[in-house]
């Protein structure tokens, strides 16, 4: 259910934001509205006792600050990227994030590096991304400048995915999912508001030409914003950071189809083939095990393997069981990052 909810919200969020921004080219102001709606939804739900969310705590706020910075950066840069490029370009760059996240997964979160199959899958994603760039008309006209905001978005996503996983395992919430959603949105409101003001977007809002269709898409994006906030944290707490990122990449298959049905603002035929290579490659990725868990599995396998002599078997089993018990205690005492 957690994965299905996230897939539904993730596959539609990009399209809804793209269409809303095409009507009102003020992405920062749009995200401010989405954040306000999410916070009000949680407060209203808590007041009606339909959900529970932790109150803001000073110590937890300090822990969240680096994540909030990356969240605001990735969210705003995503909006600017959608305003300047097509949906497929944003998806291709996001597809490259698992390669970087898998390295940080190993460095910070205690997982093994990807095996050969997973490494081949991640390199396939990168190869598809390079092919897409070579076939992209924006790159041919503007060069690397065409990808400034999508590159910033990629870097923000990589940090957000890895640090976000550490948050959900280190910060103790009475209501882990809604508590994390409230912290993320409540703490991001002021930075996003300042970003929208400094970029001049808030000053342009009164002069925008309002249309019923544009307003409807803004409302849809706000509803999906609440859904992606909840389903994102709920799903993130159940799988690894790399698997979470790859799941988001796979969801973009549906985004591409919806985008092609809506209008002609999409990639070329070659670009779509390269995008498909990215997404197909991501589907064969296998999550790397925790390093301590891998040692535990190897010891269990060794303990169950037949020995050549009875004496050797007894000595090997005693030594293996003693070492395995020590490893198991270490694994049990270590929180699953």
3-state secondary structure of 15: helix
3-state secondary structure of 174: coil
pLDDT, the chain, mean: 77
Most distant CA pair in the chain: distance in Å? Answer: 87
Contacts 24+ apart (CB under 8 A), 134-143: 135/267, 135/268, 135/270, 135/271, 135/274, 136/89, 136/267, 136/268, 136/271, 137/268, 138/85, 138/89
Higher-confidence residue of 123 and 237: namely 123
Tokens of 206: 């009164």
| pTM for the full predicted model | 0.72
Helical H runs in 25-175? 27-47, 58-84, 87-95, 97-108, 116-135, 137-142, 148-170
pLDDT score, position 327: 32
Res 193 pLDDT > 80: yes
DSSP 96: T
pLDDT score, position 220: 95
Q: Give the angle subtended at the CA of 111 by the CAs of 300 and 228, to the nearest 5°.
A: 125
Q: Which of 61-70, 194-203, 281-290 has the lowest mean pLDDT?
A: 281-290
């Amino acid at each position: 259910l957690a994965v299905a909810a996230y897939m539904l919200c993730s596959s539609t969020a990009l399209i809804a934001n793209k269409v809303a921004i095409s009507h009102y080219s003020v992405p920062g102001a749009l995200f401010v509205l989405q954040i306000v709606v999410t916070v009000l939804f949680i407060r209203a739900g808590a007041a009606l006792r339909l959900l529970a969310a932790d109150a803001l705590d000073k110590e937890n706020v300090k822990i969240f600050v680096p994540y909030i910075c990356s969240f605001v950066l990735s969210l705003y840069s995503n909006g600017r990227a959608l305003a300047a490029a097509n949906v497929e370009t944003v998806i291709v760059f996001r597809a490259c994030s698992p390669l970087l996240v898998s390295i940080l997964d190993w460095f910070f979160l205690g997982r093994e590096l990807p095996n050969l199959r997973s490494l081949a899958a991640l390199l396939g994603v990168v190869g598809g991304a390079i092919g897409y760039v070579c076939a992209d008309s924006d790159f041919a006209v503007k060069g690397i400048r065409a990808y400034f905001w999508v590159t910033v978005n990629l870097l923000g996503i990589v940090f957000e995915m890895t640090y976000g996983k550490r948050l959900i395992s280190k910060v103790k919430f009475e209501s882990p999912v809604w508590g994390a959603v409230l912290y993320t949105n409540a703490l991001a409101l002021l930075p996003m508001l300042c970003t929208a003001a400094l970029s001049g977007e808030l000053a342009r809002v009164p002069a925008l030409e309002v249309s019923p269709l544009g307003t409807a898409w803004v409302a849809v994006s706000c509803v999906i914003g609440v859904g992606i906030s909840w389903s994102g944290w709920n799903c993130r707490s159940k799988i690894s950071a790399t698997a979470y990122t790859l799941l988001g990449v796979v969801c973009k298959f549906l985004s591409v189809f919806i985008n092609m049905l809506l209008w002609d603002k999409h990639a070329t035929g070659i670009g779509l083939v390269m995008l498909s290579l990215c997404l197909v490659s991501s589907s064969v990725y296998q999550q790397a095990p925790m390093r301590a868990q891998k040692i535990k599995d190897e010891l269990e396998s060794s303990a169950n393997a037949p020995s050549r002599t009875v004496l050797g078997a007894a000595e090997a089993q005693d030594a293996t069981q003693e070492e395995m018990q020590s490893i198991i205690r270490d694994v049990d005492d270590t929180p699953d990052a």
